[in-house]
Amino acid sequence: PKERGWLFSHIYNYQGFWIAPRQLQAVRACQQQFLAQDSDIILVTFPKSGTTWLKALVFALVNRMNYPISGKNHPLLFKNPHDLVPFLELKLYVDGQLPDFSSYTSPRLLSTHLTYGSLPKSVQDSQNKLVYLCRNPRDTFISLFHFANILKIENMGISSIEEMLDLFCKGVSFYGPFWNHVLDYWKESMEKPKKVLFLMYEEMKEQPEIQLKRLAEFLECPFSIEEENCGVVDEILRICSFENLSNLEVNKNENLSTGEKNKAFFRRGEVGDWKNYFTTEMVEKLNHIIEQKFQGSGIRFLYI
């Protein structure tokens, strides 16, 4: 409805989640045309949960034989992770056609923000692996707020942080409601632990080695003792770190092939930045809905 502002004329509820109308064609093309392969690795996130970081880590991990991690020509030094691991549904496709992912070498690395229920059927039915990265809702929200408003990447027309939080708490946010997104993948990871791995941004920040090894085992490419002794785990973490990636020329001054500025994907990369923005009332407001929705799920968010 018009009276609810600009966002409502620019956001559309499709299959229970919110999406920009201009992405609808791409989502539909993906749902109708994408054919999953058993060897596919699909990275899934709610927007602003650390997608860029996850893409870098999985790319470096899976390709460590083809691209030695300390090599001077490693693709991560010259390309933004989003150009190395494309989104299934985010590009504006010509004539409603999905890009030709069939030419990608196996295992194909792809990503999506789609909810579990809206994934292409072939993804749900095949043996491929899904890696889900979840971030606490306060930092996710603040990251989204910056992406939307301050960086003007996607001018959602929201004037204040309070107004945006109000919508977020009502579930209105791209790919939201946040809770449905997270809970559906959480449930799948419990029921199908070989298919879905559920990672948390805060745990990756706190225990990066443990989480990277977990990821490698899930993807069936565990580190050998030799690799561990040679420091491969540390090297992957270093090359993919916020400090390293955000200081590369490609990520400071270049744009993605889809047009966005690479630097928009690197802001602070920390846990707890919400404290610089949230008032006590805002914490209470978000807690209220988060506690209600996540009650009994077993998920505990780390905020510090």
Q: What whole-number distance in Å separates Cα of residue 198 and Cα of residue 211?
A: 11
Residue bearing tokens 């745990």: 203
**Lookup result for tokens 């939307």:** 148
Residue 273 amino acid letter: D
Among this protein's residues, is 82 annotated catalytic?
no
Q: Figure out which of the listed residues 51, 111, 173, 189 binds ligand A3P, where binding follows CB under 6 A.
A: 51
Q: Is 301 in the site for ligand A3P (CB under 6 A)?
A: no
Q: Which of 48, 74, 108, 138 binds ligand A3P (CB under 6 A)?
A: 48
Rounded to the nearest 10°, the torsion over CA 283, 289, 293, 298 is: 10
**Residue type (1 letter), 21:** P
Residue 197: partners with Cβ closer than 8 Å, 6 or more residues away: 129, 130, 131, 132, 189, 214, 215, 218
Secondary structure of the chain: what % helix, strand, coil (to 5)? Answer: 50, 10, 40
Q: Which is nearer to ligand A3P, 243 or 291 (CB)?
A: 243
- Residue with smaller CB distance to ligand A3P, 122 or 213: 213
Q: Which of 86, 120, 176, 269 binds ligand A3P (CB under 6 A)?
A: 269
Q: Which is nearer to ligand A3P, 20 or 122 (CB)?
A: 20
In the list 138, 146, 197, 215, the residue contacting ligand A3P (rule: CB under 6 A) is 146
Q: Which of 74, 98, 116, 139 binds ligand A3P (CB under 6 A)?
A: 139
Residue type, 155: N
Does position 273 bind ligand A3P by CB under 6 A? yes
Nearer to ligand A3P (CB atom), residue 124 or residue 241: 241
What residues line the site for ligand A3P (CB under 6 A)?
Answer: 45, 47-53, 139, 143, 146, 240-242, 245, 265-269, 273
Known catalytic residues? 113
